[in-house]
Structure 1
Amino acid sequence: MADFAYRLPQERRLVTELPGPRSAALTERRKRAVGAGVASSVPVYAADVDGGVVVDVDGNSFIDLGSGIAVTTVGGSDSAVVSAVQEQVAHFTHTCFMVTPYEGYVAVAEKLADITPGDHEKRTVLFNSGAEAVENAIKIARNATGRSAVVVFDHAYHGRTNLTMALTAKNLPYKDGFGPFAPDVHRVPMSYPFREGMNHDGTAVTGTQAAERAIAQIDKQVGAHNVAAIIIEPIQGEGGFIVPAPGFLPAIAQWSRDNGIVFVADEIQTGFARTGDWFACDAEDVVPDLITLAKGMAGGMPLAAVTGRAELIDAVHGGGLGGTYGGNPVACAGALAAIARMEKLDLCGRAREIEQIAKSRLNAAAADIDVIGEVRGRGGMIAVELIQPGTRDPHPEATRAVAAKALEQGVIVLTCGTYGNVVRLLPPLVVSDDLLIEGLDVLIGAIRAVADASILTGAAR
Structure 2
Amino acid sequence: MSLHLCLLNLPSSAPCIVPSSRPFAADNLLLAAAAPPVKVNRFASPQGSSRKIAGTMTPHANDAASRDGNSRFHASSTEEAIAVESECAAHNYHPLPVVFARAQGVNVWDPEGRHYLDFLSAYSAVNQGHCHPELVKALAEQAGRLTLSSRAFHNDVFPKWAEKIRQVFGYEMVLPMNTGVEAAETAIKIARKWAYKVKGVEQGKALVFCVTDNFHGRSMTAITLSTDPESKDNYGPYLPNIGAANPSNGKPIRFNNVSDLEEVLDAHGKHTAAFLVEPIQGEAGVVVPDEDYLPRVHELCKKHNVLLICDEIQTGIGRTGRMLASEWSGIKPDVVTLGKAISGGMYPVSAVMSTKEVMLVVEPGTHGSTYGGNPLGCAVSIRALELIEEENMIVNAERLGNLFRDGITALGSPIVKTVRGRGLLNAMVIDETATDGRTAWDLCLLLKSKGLLAKPTHGDIIRFAPPLVITETELRKGLSIIAEAIQELPTAEKSTGH
Q: Same fold (TM over 0.5)?
A: yes
- Cα gap change, 1:398/1:32 in structure 2, threshold over 3 Å: closer, same or farther? closer
User: What residue number does 1:448 align with?
Assistant: 487
Report matched runs for 1:270-349 at 5 Å.
270-300=315-345, 301-349=347-395
Report if aligned partners of 1:386, 1:396 keep a CA contact under 8 Å in 2.
Answer: no
User: What residue number does 1:186 align with?
Assistant: 243
Is residue 2:423 matched to residue 1:376? no
Distance 1:245 1:396 in 2: 33
Which sections of structure 1, spanning at least 5 residues, go unmatched?
193-209, 456-461
Shift of the alpha carbon at 1:31?
2.5
User: What residue number does 1:196 align with?
Assistant: none
* Greater displacement, 42-51 / 239-248: 42-51
Report if aligned partners of 2:100, 2:110 keep a CA contact under 8 Å in 1.
Answer: yes
User: What residue number does 1:150 align with?
Assistant: 208
- Cα gap change, 1:395/1:219 in structure 2, threshold over 3 Å: closer, same or farther? farther
User: What residue number does 1:263 align with?
Assistant: 308
User: What residue number does 2:145 align with?
Assistant: 91
- Cα gap change, 1:438/1:399 in structure 2, threshold over 3 Å: closer, same or farther? same
Please say which structure displays the higher CA radius of gyration: 2
Distance 1:437 1:46 in 2: 23
Report if aligned partners of 1:52, 1:432 keep a CA contact under 8 Å in 2.
Answer: no
Distance 1:236 1:138 in 2: 19
User: What residue number does 1:251 align with?
Assistant: 296
String of CA shifts for 1:143-169, please: whole Å, max 9, x gaps. Answer: 011242111111100010100111222
Distance 1:386 1:349 in 2: 29
CA RMSD of aligned residues (A): 2.3
Shift of the alpha carbon at 1:10?
6.1
User: What residue number does 1:198 align with?
Assistant: none
Distance 2:333 2:444 in 1: 35
Which sections of structure 2, spanning at least 5 residues, go unmatched?
1-17, 26-45, 58-74, 245-251
Shift of the alpha carbon at 1:2?
7.4
Q: Secondary structure at the match of 1:272?
A: coil
Identity between Structure 1 and Structure 2 (%)? 26
Distance 2:436 2:106 in 1: 29
User: What residue number does 1:214 align with?
Assistant: 261
Distance 2:468 2:50 in 1: 14
User: What residue number does 1:111 align with?
Assistant: 164
Distance 1:217 1:386 in 2: 34
- Cα gap change, 1:166/1:12 in structure 2, threshold over 3 Å: closer, same or farther? farther
Is residue 2:234 matched to residue 1:177? yes
Distance 2:493 2:116 in 1: 27
Is residue 2:274 matched to residue 1:229? yes
Distance 2:76 2:444 in 1: 21
Q: Secondary structure at the match of 1:108?
A: helix
Match 2:445 to one of 391, 404, 408: 404
TM norm structure 2:
0.80
TM norm structure 1:
0.86
Distance 1:50 1:289 in 2: 36
User: What residue number does 2:154 align with?
Assistant: 101
Distance 1:382 1:137 in 2: 27
User: What residue number does 2:42 align with?
Assistant: none
Shift of the alpha carbon at 1:388?
4.2
String of CA shifts for 1:392-420, please: whole Å, max 9, x gaps. Answer: xx999521111111011111012213xx2
Report matched runs for 1:70-85 at 5 Å.
70-85=124-139
* Greater displacement, 323-332 / 240-249: 323-332
Distance 1:395 1:328 in 2: 52
Is residue 2:241 matched to residue 1:241? no
Q: Secondary structure at the match of 1:230?
A: strand
Distance 1:10 1:142 in 2: 53
Is residue 2:464 matched to residue 1:425? yes
Report if aligned partners of 2:96, 2:455 keep a CA contact under 8 Å in 1.
Answer: no
Report if aligned partners of 1:225, 1:259 keep a CA contact under 8 Å in 2.
Answer: yes
Report if aligned partners of 1:234, 1:249 keep a CA contact under 8 Å in 2.
Answer: yes
Match 2:86 to one of 16, 23, 31: 31
String of CA shifts for 1:341-373, please: whole Å, max 9, x gaps. Answer: 1110111101012112201111112x2x22222
* Greater displacement, 350-359 / 7-16: 7-16
Shift of the alpha carbon at 1:240?
1.0
User: What residue number does 1:201 align with?
Assistant: none
String of CA shifts for 1:318-361, please: whole Å, max 9, x gaps. Answer: 12221111122211111111111111011110101211220111
Distance 2:349 2:52 in 1: 31
Report if aligned partners of 1:10, 1:51 keep a CA contact under 8 Å in 2.
Answer: no
Distance 1:23 1:255 in 2: 52
Q: Secondary structure at the match of 1:351?
A: helix
Counterpart amino acid of residue 267 in structure 1: E
Distance 2:168 2:19 in 1: 27
Distance 2:255 2:192 in 1: 26
Match 2:476 to one of 412, 434, 437: 437
Shift of the alpha carbon at 1:139?
0.6
Q: Secondary structure at the match of 2:462?
A: strand
Is residue 2:124 matched to residue 1:66? no
- Cα gap change, 1:334/1:2 in structure 2, threshold over 3 Å: closer, same or farther? closer
